[in-house]
Amino acid sequence: MSTPLLQVEKVVAGYRPDLPIVHGISLEVAETEMVTIIGPNGAGKSTLVKAVAGIVPVSSGRVLLDGRDITRLATHKLAQASIAYVPQTANVFTTLTINENLLVGASVLPKSEARRRIERGYETFPALKDYRHKKARVLSGGQRQMLAVARALLTDPRLIMLDEPSAGLSPLMVVEVFQRLKGLVESGVAILMVEQNVKAALAISHRTYVLADGCNRIDGPSAGLADNPEVTSIYLGAGGRKR
């Protein structure tokens, strides 16, 4: 097999050097693969993704993109490394217009290229175009998520990392956002997403990692995990989150 696009190797990370939250997690994302991370609240899912994004310090282990070590790359260099990160909250500027949000995301690009890619974003997400001069605060949760993704796409990433893209969305919007993400993967982008919406995430992604207490717990093809008794009892059974 060729080198995976993203390799996370035994990463230890946390907000304080003396208090690791992620205790040596490993995972891989292949080119144009959609990979989900699930796990109980506090399992370290967001911390792991932030560690890959260079926001949380990594104390040991490595993060490789195309086999190249990017472990301690500054967050602002992430786009150059072809990775985009969409955080769970505060992922759009509500006081700016949709167009201004996109301009901010494209600010690293030459002007003509920025304009071209913003137009391309509007083609991908036509609903945003209708609102381009409206403040982002008027957007619904799902539309904000689309705007955050549209902004992430401006730098032509090969990998997008999303932290709970369906959080707070109505079931209909979850379907819509996931369909969009699937479309992105079909267009050649790889996705690594943290999800609480386990059933929908397992249905749409290629592979899934289950994390618990900052460690790898189970992983494999998503279709297989949907039938795994441990996964179903924790996430899909009675008391779990049902849809």
Ligand X SMILES: Nc1ncnc2c1ncn2[C@@H]1O[C@H](COP(=O)(O)OP(=O)(O)O)[C@@H](O)[C@H]1O
Question: Is 46 or 197 the residue whose CB approaches Mg ion more closely?
Answer: 46
209 neighbors 15 (Cβ within 8 angstroms): no
3-state percent helix, strand, coil for the chain, nearest multiple of 5: 35, 25, 40
Binding partner of 144, given ligand X, Mg ion, none, CB within 5-8 angstroms per partner class? none
State the nearest-atom distance from the C-beta of 225 to Mg ion, in Å: 19
Question: Is 46 or 166 the residue whose CB approaches Mg ion more closely?
Answer: 46
Binding partner of 82, given Mg ion, ligand X, none, CB within 5-8 angstroms per partner class? none
Tokens of 42: 């506090």
State the nearest-atom distance from the C-beta of 16 to ligand X, in Å: 7
State the nearest-atom distance from the C-beta of 146 to ligand X, in Å: 22
Confirm or reject binding of residue 46 to Mg ion (CB under 5 A): yes
Binding partner of 15, given Mg ion, ligand X, none, CB within 5-8 angstroms per partner class? ligand X
Binding partner of 220, given ligand X, Mg ion, none, CB within 5-8 angstroms per partner class? none
State the nearest-atom distance from the C-beta of 49 to ligand X, in Å: 8
Which ranges in the chain belong to alpha helices (H)?
45-52, 98-105, 111-124, 126-130, 141-153, 171-186, 198-204, 222-225, 229-231
| Dihedral of alpha carbons 144, 164, 45, 224, sign | negative
Question: Is 145 or 155 the residue whose CB approaches ligand X more closely?
Answer: 145
Question: Is 109 or 225 the residue whose CB approaches ligand X more closely?
Answer: 225
Q: Quote the DSSP letter at residue 238.
A: T
Residue 178 CA: distances (Å) to CA of 45, 124, 171: 19, 14, 11
161 neighbors 184 (Cβ within 8 angstroms): no
Provide CB contacts within 8 A for 14, sequence distance 6+. 20, 21, 22, 47, 56, 57, 59
Binding partner of 42, given ligand X, Mg ion, none, CB within 5-8 angstroms per partner class? ligand X
> Among 29-37, 38-46, 78-86, 152-160, which window interacts with Mg ion (CB under 5 A)?
38-46
State the nearest-atom distance from the C-beta of 126 to ligand X, in Å: 32
35 neighbors 193 (Cβ within 8 angstroms): yes
> Among 42-50, 73-81, 142-150, 208-216, which window interacts with Mg ion (CB under 5 A)?
42-50
State the nearest-atom distance from the C-beta of 193 to Mg ion, in Å: 11
- Cβ neighbours, 10 Å, residue 220: 13
Question: Is 46 or 155 the residue whose CB approaches Mg ion more closely?
Answer: 46
The binding site for ligand X (CB under 6 A) comprises 15, 21, 39, 41-47
Q: Which residues bind to Mg ion, rule: CB under 5 A?
A: 45-46
